[in-house]
A and B are shown apart, each in its own frame.
Chain A
């Protein structure tokens, strides 16, 4: 706990988590830019045609671009896997307990608070109070749950897409090719889902709650902010004597 001027600041985030967040952000940016450049054919292409042409030209062919994408992707998987192994009980499990939305009731509750939150951005439901939130609000929990499941799918399908043609003889069993084709669909669909969520994530960090962005750099956030946005968390902190 520290005091800066008149605002009481609370240390809520460890340096290793901040580093992991920014490592994740850089990996995502790199992987999206390169990934959009890999998928080429008009039937399956995601980005406008100039982007694959530009990226493949920049890397001296799609073979090199795929390799660069895979290297970053594998580094992303390894770093996360090591982090999870090293911090499972201290960081990961408590985080999952707070973030994962696994029951229909929790999903309905979080969706309701998210909808009110989003509509208030557009001047609607101004007088409707948002139910008190814990450390993570409804939108963050729903987004977090989606990102966790999508990331697992992206990692699994990405590894298959890169390694399967080297490991399996596709001509021997039609299943190998079939899994490859569906892995491509799942990989793209999961990335789209995360991107949809990321738009909101980035907007809130940059425009609505810049204090959260600061907290993702310094690890500290004001007690007033917690009191205003995360009433249930504030109560927890009060009971544990941290504020």
Chain B
């Protein structure tokens, strides 16, 4: 069976040391102030006690990734192993994909002027290594592997404990990133995916130009096919009439 990579984040083990962020930035040499991964802190009060929850985050490598659907050049694509990648050679940096991502995992790299995102450290995993963030995670809060391998650590952990995905009724696009919560805790709204208003130009293309254009061209083809048939029938009638006259 083909590999299918997933990431697990144990929010109980995460200590917000940001080693994952440092490792990612070192691995990918991201520009100042920008990182492909992050740790989101959510503070709240429970039973009169202040608490904090920690959510290591990155691209969720969704099965139905809307970034791929929004990309006009095919620069965003998904590999057979489930990893969503970005081809710098063809990316124009138009940012149509940026608001399409409900996890806010894409941004325009000011150095390359192309879109950058987490790739699960694709070159590393292709060599059989783990992503840089997983290797560096001091609390072993991040676990990465092949979900299709029943012997893998991720498969075993997914069977042993109750992991959740960051999905809502509104946004359920098959993320390949799982989270483990402390017993009795629920997912806070702050980390849930949200639909962003897509660029108007993209919506005009999808909802106006393409359907109207397709109907227009299709309608014209059908109409003129009809005209051709009418002309053929007219010619047949004319020939029949001429034949009758000849007889």
The interface residues of chain B lying within 8 Å CB-to-CB of A185 are 201, 204-205, 209
0/1 string, B70-98, CB within 8 A of A gives 1: 11111110000000000101101111110
B216 near A192 with CB under 8 A, answer yes
A41-B70, A41-B76, A170-B93 in contact; A46/B230 too (CB < 8 A)?
Answer: no
Q: Is B217 an interface residue (CB 8 A)?
A: yes
The interface residues of chain A lying within 8 Å CB-to-CB of B205 are 43-44, 184-185, 188
The interface residues of chain A lying within 8 Å CB-to-CB of B95 are 170, 177, 181
A171 near B108 with CB under 8 A, answer yes
Which residue of A has the minimal Cβ distance to B111?
A171
Q: Is A75 an interface residue (CB 8 A)?
A: no
The interface residues of chain B lying within 8 Å CB-to-CB of A178 are 201
Q: Is B226 an interface residue (CB 8 A)?
A: yes
B74 near A203 with CB under 8 A, answer no
Which residue of B has the minimal Cβ distance to A61?
B90
Give the residue among A181, A182, A193 with the most B Cβ atoms within 10 A. Answer: A181
B217 near A181 with CB under 8 A, answer no
Among the stretches A19-27, A107-115, A194-202, A212-220, the one at the interface with B is A194-202
B72 near A184 with CB under 8 A, answer yes
A56 near B74 with CB under 8 A, answer yes
The interface residues of chain B lying within 8 Å CB-to-CB of A177 are 93-95, 108
The interface residues of chain A lying within 8 Å CB-to-CB of B230 are 121-123
Q: Is B196 an interface residue (CB 8 A)?
A: no
> Which one of B70, B113, B220 lies within 8 Å of A200 (CB-CB)?
B220
The interface residues of chain B lying within 8 Å CB-to-CB of A180 are 92, 94
The interface residues of chain B lying within 8 Å CB-to-CB of A127 are none
A121 near B227 with CB under 8 A, answer yes
Q: Is A189 an interface residue (CB 8 A)?
A: yes
A122 near B74 with CB under 8 A, answer no
Q: Is B210 an interface residue (CB 8 A)?
A: yes
On chain B, the number of residues with a Cβ less than 8 Å from chain A's Cβ atoms is 46
Q: Complex: how many Å from CA A208 to CA B230?
A: 12
The interface residues of chain B lying within 8 Å CB-to-CB of A196 are 213, 216-217, 220
Q: Complex: how many Å from CA A52 to CA B110?
A: 29
Q: Complex: how many Å from CA A169 to CA B112?
A: 8
Q: Is B221 an interface residue (CB 8 A)?
A: yes
By secondary structure, the A interface counts as: helix
The interface residues of chain B lying within 8 Å CB-to-CB of A13 are none
Chain B, 206-242, CB within 8 A of any chain A CB: 206, 209-210, 212-214, 216-217, 220-221, 224, 226-228, 230-231
Q: Is B68 an interface residue (CB 8 A)?
A: yes
Give the residue among B100, B113, B199, B231 with the most A Cβ atoms within 10 A. Answer: B113
The interface residues of chain A lying within 8 Å CB-to-CB of B221 are 199
Q: Is A68 an interface residue (CB 8 A)?
A: no
Q: Complex: how many Å from CA A165 to CA B110?
A: 13
The interface residues of chain B lying within 8 Å CB-to-CB of A170 are 92-95, 108, 113
Q: Complex: how many Å from CA A196 to CA B213?
A: 8
B216 near A188 with CB under 8 A, answer no
The interface residues of chain A lying within 8 Å CB-to-CB of B73 are 38-40, 62, 66
Which residue of A has the minimal Cβ distance to B209?
A189
B76 near A188 with CB under 8 A, answer no
Which residue of B has the minimal Cβ distance to A121?
B227
Q: Complex: how many Å from CA A42 to CA B66?
A: 9
> Which one of A38, A188, A199 lies within 8 Å of B220 (CB-CB)?
A199
Q: Complex: how many Å from CA A46 to CA B227?
A: 26
The interface residues of chain B lying within 8 Å CB-to-CB of A102 are none
The interface residues of chain B lying within 8 Å CB-to-CB of A42 are 68-69
Q: Complex: how many Å from CA A218 to CA B205?
A: 41
> Which one of A41, A62, A121 lies within 8 Å of B69 (CB-CB)?
A41
The interface residues of chain B lying within 8 Å CB-to-CB of A165 are 92-93, 113
Q: Which residues of B contact A (CB under 8 A)?
A: 66, 68-76, 87, 89-90, 92-97, 100, 108-110, 113, 198-199, 201-202, 204-206, 209-210, 212-214, 216-217, 220-221, 224, 226-228, 230-231
Q: List 23 A-B contacts (CB under 8 A).
A: A39-B73, A40-B71, A41-B69, A41-B72, A42-B68, A43-B66, A43-B206, A122-B226, A123-B230, A170-B113, A171-B108, A171-B109, A171-B110, A177-B108, A184-B205, A185-B201, A185-B209, A189-B213, A192-B209, A192-B213, A192-B216, A199-B224, A207-B227
Nearest 6 interchain pairs by C-beta: A192-B213, A40-B74, A181-B201, A199-B220, A171-B110, A42-B69
